[in-house]
């Protein structure tokens, strides 16, 4: 009977920990959207690097918080002293990584694309007038998720990929794709999923030329 109770308690703790971590991630997204919002802003997206680093650090933060609460409940002073040192090291790192992750973003307005990198102090502004053409490439990946690349080719010869590495939501990319069409920028689909007609309508529209 006691084993069942302990198992239930562990499951409850796991669910609470997951819920706290989930709300941390949601708060992170909402803070970035609030920070970068504006009347002319169409899409706000965190880059994959920023998201992954924050996911990892926030998960570690939840684990550290759980250990602290547990040993406070048990009044385990030696463990609490050890955790105190860990907090002194981890908390500044967590704040720095969070700030850098928030600084890693891509913003799309009706006239330009604004990108900021993880360690970048300023932001790069690229007007849609400088986009020469767009290519969309789908690649099968046997080891995991298929790869999709939405590349913007600029007049200066540079290329910027905004789907796989930046915008991760298909509906948000559709907004950009429609904006590309409004600006009458040529678009070429290099490869598309073989079963495109079985995919959601949002993907079918994105892959249409």
pLDDT of residue 46: 76
Q: If phi over 0 gives left and psi between -120 and 50 gives alpha, with beta otherwise, what is residue 115?
A: beta
Q: What digits encode the pLDDT tens for the residues 114-158? A: 888 777 777 888 888 899 999 988 877 766 566 788 889 999 888
Place of tokens 């590495």: 165
Distance CA 107, CA 121 (A): 16
Mean pLDDT of 202-208: 84
Bridge partners of 82, per DSSP, are: none
Distance CA 203, CA 7 (A): 43
Bridge partners of 44, per DSSP, are: 107
Nearest to 42 by CA among 108, 94, 123: 108
pLDDT of residue 132: 92
Q: What digits encode the pLDDT tens for the residues 53-82? A: 899 999 999 999 988 888 888 888 888 888
Q: What digits encode the pLDDT tens for the residues 1-49? A: 677 777 777 788 888 888 989 999 889 888 888 888 776 787 887 777 7
pLDDT of residue 60: 93
End-to-end CA gap in the chain: 64
pLDDT of residue 142: 64
Size of the chain in residues: 209
pLDDT of residue 145: 66
Tokens of 94: 């967590």
């Amino acid at each position: 009977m006691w084993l069942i109770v302990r198992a239930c308690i562990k499951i409850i703790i796991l669910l609470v920990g997951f819920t706290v971590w989930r709300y941390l991630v949601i708060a992170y997204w909402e803070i970035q959207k609030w920070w970068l919002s504006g009347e002319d802003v169409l899409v706000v997206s965190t880059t994959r690097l920023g998201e992954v680093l924050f996911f990892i650090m926030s998960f570690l933060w939840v684990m550290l918080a759980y250990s602290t609460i547990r040993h406070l409940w048990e009044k385990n002073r030696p463990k609490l002293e050890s955790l105190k040192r860990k907090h002194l090291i981890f908390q500044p790192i967590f704040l720095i990584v969070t700030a850098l992750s928030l600084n890693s973003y891509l913003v799309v307005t009706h006239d330009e694309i604004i990108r900021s990198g993880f360690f970048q102090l300023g932001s790069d502004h690229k007007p849609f007038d400088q986009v020469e053409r767009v290519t969309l490439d789908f690649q099968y990946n046997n080891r995991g998720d298929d790869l999709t690349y939405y590349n913007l080719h600029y007049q200066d010869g540079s290329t910027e990929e905004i789907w796989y590495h930046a915008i991760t939501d298909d509906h948000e990319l559709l907004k950009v794709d429609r904006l590309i069409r409004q600006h009458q920028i040529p678009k070429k689909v290099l490869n598309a999923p073989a079963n495109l007609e079985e995919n959601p309508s949002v993907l079918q529209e994105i892959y249409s030329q």
